[in-house]
């Protein structure tokens, strides 16, 4: 009996020793709590030393595809629509008569203008003869000359109206919109058709913010991806950079000529355009966990000071998302040691317990406790299952899973800066 009691006491002593070891490892790992001296334990963080890289800047922006030649067709004068020969989707060759206004009133005005001109011409010839015979004054001749010129201009207007009472195709193409029907009244300039070229050439039209438009120049290369064709991409070149901002959006219009369309593109497709500008800048790639309080192109990181083990908050300028990392284009210097894990729980000036991201983490307290319990047969179901693994594998941290970790980082990066 005494032997069993002694054995039981030995087991308890060993378990207590193991638990003491676990507590010590928790303190070394930076677990929250207070030490024996009553001081608050330091927050454990992981740091990352940033390095600079020089690269061509790129601007990513959304827009839409448009046919290289596209226009809105309308009558240049007002009137009642007499006929429309084209509908949406119809093709039309250059100079094809697509629509016409009622000609009755237009023809009458043309006849009236022609008769007025002929009368003014006769009056002018008569006064001219009288002036030559000294029977009419110079002033009379000047007045009749003015009347004749006025009649001539009225005839020109009538002929112009007669000619432009029809809408004719400006080039070979297709009707993409039809906005009126026969019998409707229209004013001069009211859109009747939207018309695009059938050349198969397209351009991506985007609106660029003022802080970026100065970096873009005609001839810059571009890369276009379409939501309708996710497995394909197209090369392009900046063909035009607007000099004035759009009044509604405040952005500057930029057009990109799309190459290699091969008949698969359609006007109106949503495009994501990446423009590669010639400007070279210095940037730093950081993990998304390091960035806090991101707002558009601004955010904050914590800089670790090894000299006194403190962290300090610093504002940075966000560039773009590059895979599972974020490009920082301002606010950092080469050699800065930023907080990678634990930044969300820090306040500027905090003292911390730091380790760099390339150092392997020590075994967790849970793993150590499991080892202690396992040595005395206190096994849970999950621990029994883990016993089937080799001991070295059961006690080591789980291997890094690149695909899952990368996907999570990419989602977080896009959420922070998007």
Q: Tens-of-pLDDT digits for all 418 residues of the chain?
A: 444 444 434 433 443 444 344 444 444 444 444 444 545 568 888 888 988 887 777 888 999 998 888 899 999 888 899 999 999 989 999 999 999 998 888 888 889 999 999 999 999 999 998 888 888 888 988 999 999 999 999 999 888 888 888 999 999 999 999 999 999 999 988 999 999 988 888 999 999 998 888 889 999 999 999 988 888 889 999 999 999 999 999 999 999 999 876 678 888 899 999 998 887 778 888 888 889 988 878 899 999 999 999 999 999 988 777 778 888 888 999 899 999 888 888 999 999 988 876 543 433 334 433 443 343 344 433 333 333 333 333 333 333 334 444 444 554 555 555 5
The pTM assigned to this predicted structure is 0.50
How would you write the chain as a 3-class SS string?
Answer: CHHHHHHHHHHHHHHHHHHHHHHHHHHHHCCCCECCCCCECCEEEEEEECCEEEEEEEEEEEEEEEECCEEEEECCCCEEEEEECCCCCCEECCCCEEEEECHHHHHHHHHHHHHHHHHHHHHHHHHHHHHHCCCCCHHHHHHHHHHHHHHHHHHHHHHHHHHCCEEECCCCEEEEEECCCCCCEECCCCEEEEEEECCCCEEEEEEECHHHHCCCCCCCEEEEEECCEEEEEEEEEEEEECCCCCCCCCCEEEEEEECCCCCCCCCCCEEEEEEEEEEEEEEEEECHHHCEEEECCEEEEEEEECCCCEEEEEEEEEEEEECCEEEEEECCCCCCEEEEECHHHCCCCCEEEEEECCCCCCCCHHHHHHHHHHHCCCCCHHHHHHHCCCHHHHHCCCCCCHHHHHHHHHHHHHHHHC
CA distances, 145 to each of 75, 125, 275 (Å): 33, 10, 62
Instruction: Parse the chain into domains and list their residue ranges.
Output: 2-41+362-396, 61-69+195-280, 75-170
pLDDT at 262: 66
Under a CB-based contact definition with an 8 Å cutoff, are residues 349 and 310 in contact?
Answer: yes
Which CATH architecture best describes the domain 61-69+195-280? Beta Barrel (2.40)
Chain centroid to CA 338: 29
| pLDDT the model gives residue 377 | 43
Q: In this predicted structure, what is the pLDDT of residue 261?
A: 67
Q: What pLDDT, on a 0 to 100 scale, did the predictor assign at position 314?
A: 94
**What sign for the dihedral angle of Cα 275, 278, 284, 285?**
positive
């Amino acid at each position: 009996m005494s032997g069993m009691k002694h054995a039981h006491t030995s087991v308890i002593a060993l378990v207590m020793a193991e638990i003491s070891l676990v507590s010590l490892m928790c303190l070394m790992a930076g677990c929250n709590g207070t030490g024996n001296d009553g001081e608050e334990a330091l927050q454990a963080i992981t740091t990352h030393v940033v390095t600079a890289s020089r690269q061509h800047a790129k601007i990513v922006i959304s827009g839409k595809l448009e046919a290289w030649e596209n226009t809105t067709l309308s009558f240049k004068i007002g009137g009642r629509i007499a006929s429309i020969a084209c509908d949406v989707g119809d093709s039309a060759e250059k100079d094809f008569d697509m629509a016409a206004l009622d000609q009755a009133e237009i023809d009458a005005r043309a006849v009236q203008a022609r008769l007025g001109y002929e009368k003014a011409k006769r009056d002018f010839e008569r006064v001219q003869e009288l002036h030559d015979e000294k029977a009419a004054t110079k002033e009379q001749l000047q007045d009749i000359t003015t009347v004749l010129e006025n009649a001539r201009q009225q005839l020109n207007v009538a002929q112009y109206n007669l000619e432009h009472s029809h809408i004719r195709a400006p080039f070979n193409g297709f009707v993409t919109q039809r906005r009126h029907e026969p019998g409707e009244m229209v004013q001069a300039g009211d859109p009747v058709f939207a018309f695009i070229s059938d050349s198969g050439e397209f351009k991506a039209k985007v609106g660029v913010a003022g802080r970026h438009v100065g970096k873009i120049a005609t001839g810059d290369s571009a890369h276009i991806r379409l939501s309708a064709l996710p497995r394909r991409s197209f090369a392009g070149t900046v063909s035009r950079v607007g000099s004035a901002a759009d009044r509604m959006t405040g952005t500057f219009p930029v057009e990109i000529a799309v190459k290699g369309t091969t008949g698969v593109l359609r006007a109106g497709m949503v495009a994501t355009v990446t423009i590669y500008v010639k400007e070279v800048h210095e940037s730093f790639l950081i993990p998304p966990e390091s960035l806090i309080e991101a707002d558009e192109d601004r955010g904050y990181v914590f800089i670790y000071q090894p000299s006194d083990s403190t962290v300090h908050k610093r504002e940075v300028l966000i560039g773009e998302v590059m895979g599972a990392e974020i490009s920082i284009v301002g606010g950092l210097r080469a050699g800065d040691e930023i907080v990678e894990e634990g930044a969300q729980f820090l306040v500027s000036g905090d003292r911390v317990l730091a380790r760099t991201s390339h150092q392997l983490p020590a075994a967790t307290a849970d793993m150590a406790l499991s080892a202690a319990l396992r040595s005395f047969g206190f096994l849970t179901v999950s621990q029994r299952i883990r016993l089937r693994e080799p001991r070295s594998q059961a006690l080591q941290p789980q291997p890094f899973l690149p695909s899952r970790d990368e996907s999570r980082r990419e989602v977080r990066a896009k959420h922070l800066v998007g």
